Amino acid sequence: MSSRSQVLIVSDASRTEHNLVREIHLLLGSERISLKGLFIEDEEVLRATGLPIVKEVSHAGEVRDLTQDRLRQEFLQVASSLKHTLSNIANEMGYSSSFEVVKGSHSVELARAAADVDFVVFARAHLPGYLRPRRGPDLVPLLSQAKSLLVVNEPWLSGRSVVVVYEGMASAEALRLAGGYARSAALDLIVVTPEGAQNPEEEAYATAQQVEMECTESALATLCQARDARLLVFSHSDSLQLANMLPELVDRVPCSILRLA
């Protein structure tokens, strides 16, 4: 994990940055972190606002006009705020940082920027109590890359447990990281083993709750909901192909998801 020092934060000014970035070294197991902030001015949205028939429905449920100029202005404000936030936290935590604003397709630009980093954090703004935007489709181009990816479902610090999918030695890193984070954040650790798989042997996980079950999207979503999970962790290389299920899963579970490379 020590090599994963290049971290890409892709966000549209999610409220979660402060808390997440302060904890990111726990997830990486490294103090040497270089943050790269990215804000994508979604060209699809910009294009859509060029149509006179398109209206914006605000989070509060008001229908209003949205011009391209106003949207650009809002993008600028969001990008500026995000840049400021990341810069401050990076200084506070002793990370190096940079920030980039690009215009393009959300999924394409995300995949492009992710190519040069070790760890991708993808967060989308969401006000608690309001409708959650879908994130899954944006992640599709990333799936082919063996990047570690954290998709944040806000709010980051809610939840009382870490759920990790363990399929044997191939998931050892995921288990270690999930266990470490659960300890440091005083959360319960729940180890999910697919039916027929072997439970972890290390004594360190003896106190963890172990659940054996069929690891489908809906079963994992139900478990995470029931156990008030903050984070669901699994490996890219699991035999269950959970990584491929990510676009669907991310919009079904209430918690954040960490997929390790």
Partner 1 sequence: MAHAELSTEQLKRKVSIPLPTSEPGTDAAEANDLTQPRALEAIEFAMSMKGGGYNVYALGDAQTGMHERLMARLQEIASDEPAGSDLCYVANFGKPGEPVAMVLPRGVGRNVRDDVNHLLVSLTTLIPAAFSSDEFRQQIDELNSELQQRQMRDTAELNEEAKREGLAMLPTPGGFIFAPSDDDKVLDAEEFAKLDESQKRGIASAIEMMNEKLRERLQAYPSFQEELARQQRTLAETTARHVLTSLTSKLRARYNSHDEVISHLNAIGENLLDNVDKLLVLSAPAVPGQPQVPTEDLFREYQMNLIVDRSDEVRAPVVYESNPSLENLIGKLDHRLEYGVPVSDFTMIRAGALHRANGGYLVLDAERLLTKPFAWEALKRALLDGCIRIESVSQLLSMAYSVSLDPEPVPLQIKVVLLGPRRLHHLLRQYDSDYDSLFKVPADFWDKVLWDDRNEKAYCDLLLGFVAENELLPLSDGALAELIEYGGRLVQDRRHLSAYTEELCDMVREADHYARSAKSEDIGRDHVMVAASQRDSRVGRIKELVLHNIERGVTVIKTEHAAVGQVNGLSVVQLGRLVFGQPSRITATARMGRGDFIDIERESKLGGNIHSKAVLIVSNFIGYRYAKEQPLSLHASLVFEQSYGGIEGDSASIAEVCALLSAIIDTPVRQDLAITGSMDQHGFVQAIGGVNEKIEGFFEVCKSQKLTGTQGVIIPQSNQENLMLSDEVIETVEKGQFHIYTMTEVDDAIELMFGSTSEIASVERIEAQIRERLARFHELWKSAQGDDRE
Q: Tell me which residue has tokens 């959970």.
A: 242
- C-alpha span between 72 and 76 (Å, rounded): 6
47 is a contact residue toward partner 1 (CB under 8 A): yes
96 is a contact residue toward partner 1 (CB under 8 A): no
- Residue pair 224/255 in contact by the 8 Å Cβ criterion: yes
134 is a contact residue toward partner 1 (CB under 8 A): yes
65 is a contact residue toward partner 1 (CB under 8 A): no
**Applying CB under 8 A, which part among 55-63, 167-175, 190-198, 203-211 lies near partner 1?**
55-63
Task: State the DSSP H helix or E strand holding residue 224, giving kind and residue range, or none if neither.
Answer: helix 217-226
Q: Tell me which residue has tokens 């290389």.
A: 237
| Binding-site size, partner 1 (CB under 8 A) | 51
The pair of structure tokens assigned to 29 is 């197991």
**Applying CB under 8 A, which part among 111-119, 184-192, 199-207, 236-244 lies near partner 1?**
184-192
Strand order of the β-sheet with 6-11 is 96-104, 34-42, 6-11, 119-123, 148-152, 256-260, 229-235, 161-165, 188-194, 209-213
- Residue pair 6/118 in contact by the 8 Å Cβ criterion: yes
- Residue pair 136/248 in contact by the 8 Å Cβ criterion: yes
Q: Which is nearer to partner 1, 134 or 239 (CB)?
A: 134
69 is a contact residue toward partner 1 (CB under 8 A): no
115 is a contact residue toward partner 1 (CB under 8 A): no
Q: Give the HSE-up count for residue 119: Cα atoms under 13 Å, Cβ half-sphere.
A: 23
45 is a contact residue toward partner 1 (CB under 8 A): yes
187 is a contact residue toward partner 1 (CB under 8 A): yes
Give the residue, chosen from 1, 6, 15, 23, that forms a contact with partner 1 under the rule CB under 8 A: 23
109 is a contact residue toward partner 1 (CB under 8 A): no
**Closest distance to partner 1 from the beta carbon of 2 (Å):** 22
Residues near partner 1 (CB under 8 A) are 12-13, 18-19, 22-23, 42, 44-45, 47-51, 53-63, 66, 71, 74-75, 77-78, 124-125, 129-134, 137, 157, 160, 185-187, 225-226, 228, 251-252, 254
